[in-house]
Amino acid sequence: MNRLFNPLADLVKSFEGQYAQITADRKAILEQLAAYVRQKATEQKPALLNFICTHNSRRSHLSQLWAQAAAHYYNVKNVQCYSGGTEATAFNPRAVKAMRQVGFQITGADSSANPKYEVRFADAAPAVIAFSKTYSDNFNPSSGFAAIMTCSHADENCPIVFGAEKRISLPFNDPKDFDGTDLESAKYHERVLEIGKEICFAFSII
């Protein structure tokens, strides 16, 4: 296993003790993701994973960053993770804060409406550039990728993801529902942990 920054490494170790708690139906979906990455390795091709939700502001970014970190941690080679939406908004600052709190190092925000961030999770891994974009943006792969749908709205309203060779429905509840409430911070943290645990499980079985 490759080293993550200490807070993240400790968190993934805690996830490993909780994999048995993931429900059978969720594991079946996560096994689809693992099988896709495994298949690409067999073909000696890169596994291009594009995590998609409506606004590319919360769940798709959380999933993308956890997937890239999990691939590094479990030494799964040649995995390139992306995210996108059916429309572009911004990487929500509440989600940025929640990821920082668990140990991701996120820098580079500017005052624009859609800032670009550099996200790091290990000394030995390159930074991930994170900003909101449509799934078909030039920054993302245009073909030969798996589309992982992280919200039910995008899954239902985007029946065709052009260029995708595999589509996986992996929806998570939206922490946005708690914006401006006393539960906001707790719910964002809860979603970061849930996504992290499930994505890490998928990479642990590759």
Domain boundaries 6-172+179-204, corresponding CATH code? 3.40.50.2300
Q: What is the pLDDT of residue 19?
A: 98
Structure tokens at 95: 């989600």
pLDDT for the residue numbered 94: 97
Query: What is the structure's pLDDT at 34?
Result: 98
- Cβ(166)–Cβ(48) below 8 Å: no
Q: Is the pLDDT of residue 49 over 90?
A: yes
Structure confidence at residue 111 (pLDDT): 77
For 109-156, what is each residue's pLDDT tens digit?
777 899 999 999 999 999 999 999 999 999 999 999 999 999 887 666
Name the helix (H) or strand (E) containing 85: strand 79-85
Mean pLDDT in residue range 8-12: 97
Residues paired with residue 146 on neighbouring β-strands, in sequence order: 49, 166
pLDDT tens figures, 154-179: 666 667 799 999 999 999 999 999 99
Give the integer Cα–Cα distance in Å for 69 and 134.
Answer: 22
Mean pLDDT across 78-90: 96
Query: What DSSP string describes 140-198?
Result: S-SSSEEEEE-SHHHHHH----TTEEEEEE-----GGGGTTSTTHHHHHHHHHHHHHHH
Give yes or no for residue 11 having a pLDDT over 90: yes
What's the pLDDT at 76?
98
0.85 exceeded by pTM: yes
pLDDT of residue 141: 97
Q: Is the pLDDT of residue 68 over 80?
A: yes
pLDDT, tens digit, 9 for 90 and up, residues 18-35: 999 999 999 999 999 999
Strands 164-169 and 145-149: parallel
Q: How confident is the model at residue 1 (pLDDT cuts 50, 70, 90)?
A: confident
Do the beta carbons of residue 201 and residue 27 sit within 8 Å?
Answer: yes
Which tokens is 101 given?
């709190």
Q: Taking all residues of the chain, what is their mean pLDDT, rounded to a whole number?
A: 95
Q: How is the chain split into domains, by residue range?
A: 6-172+179-204
β 128-130/117-120 pair status: antiparallel
Reported as a pLDDT band with limits 50, 70 and 90, residue 83 is: very high
Predicted local confidence at residue 35, as pLDDT: 98
**Average pLDDT, integer, range 31-54:** 97
Q: Are 137 and 148 in contact (CB under 8 A)?
A: no
What's the CA angle centered on 51, arms 187 and 193, to 5 degrees? 30
